[in-house]
């Protein structure tokens, strides 16, 4: 019998991660991983002065 397990939030990482998996007879048969937060930094840097783009992209992750 398949069982669905959701682990959200995944802790001790940077950002907001969600893992879902389907198990069958104690074995994982399918799994999904998804980032649960979006800031749209790609859209923020579009059309910007190239010299200041680092200021934003550098802050995608602070770890």
Partner 1 sequence: MKNKDFKVLSQHLGGVSRRDFLKYCSIVAAGMGLPLGAGAQIAEAVVNPKRPPVIWLSAQECTGCTESLLRATHPTLEHLILDLISLDYHETLSTPSGHQAEEARAASIKANKGKFILVVDGAIPVKDNGIYCMIAGRTALDILKDTAKDAAAIIAIGSCSSWGGVPSADPNPTGATPVHKVLADAGIKTPVINIPGCPPNPYNFLSTVLYYVTFKKLPELDKLARPMFAYGRLIHENCERRPHFDAGRFATEFGDENHRKGYCLYKLGCKGPETHANCPSILFGDTGAGTWPVGTGHPCFGCTEKGIGFHKPLFSRASLHMVTPPDTYPHTQEQQGKGATIAGVVVAAAAAGAAFAAVNKVAGKLGEDEKGKK
User: Which residues make up the interface to partner 1 (CB under 8 A)?
Assistant: 6-16, 18, 36-41, 43-44, 49, 51-52, 55-56, 59-63
Compute the least distance from the CB of residue 3 to partner 1, in Å: 15
Between 31 and 41, name the residue whose CB sits nearer to partner 1.
Answer: 41
Residues 6 or more apart whose Cβ sits within 8 Å of residue 57: 41, 45
Compute the least distance from the CB of residue 30 to partner 1, in Å: 18
What does the alpha-carbon distance between residue 39 and residue 43 come to, in Å, rounded to a whole number? 9
Q: Are 58 and 43 in contact (CB under 8 A)?
A: no
């Amino acid at each position: 019998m398949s069982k669905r397990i959701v682990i959200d939030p995944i802790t001790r990482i940077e950002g907001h991660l969600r893992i879902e998996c389907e198990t069958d007879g104690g074995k994982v048969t399918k799994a999904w991983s998804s980032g649960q937060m979006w800031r749209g930094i790609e859209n923020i840097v579009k059309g910007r002065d190239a010299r200041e783009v680092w200021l934003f992209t550098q802050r995608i992750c602070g770890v």
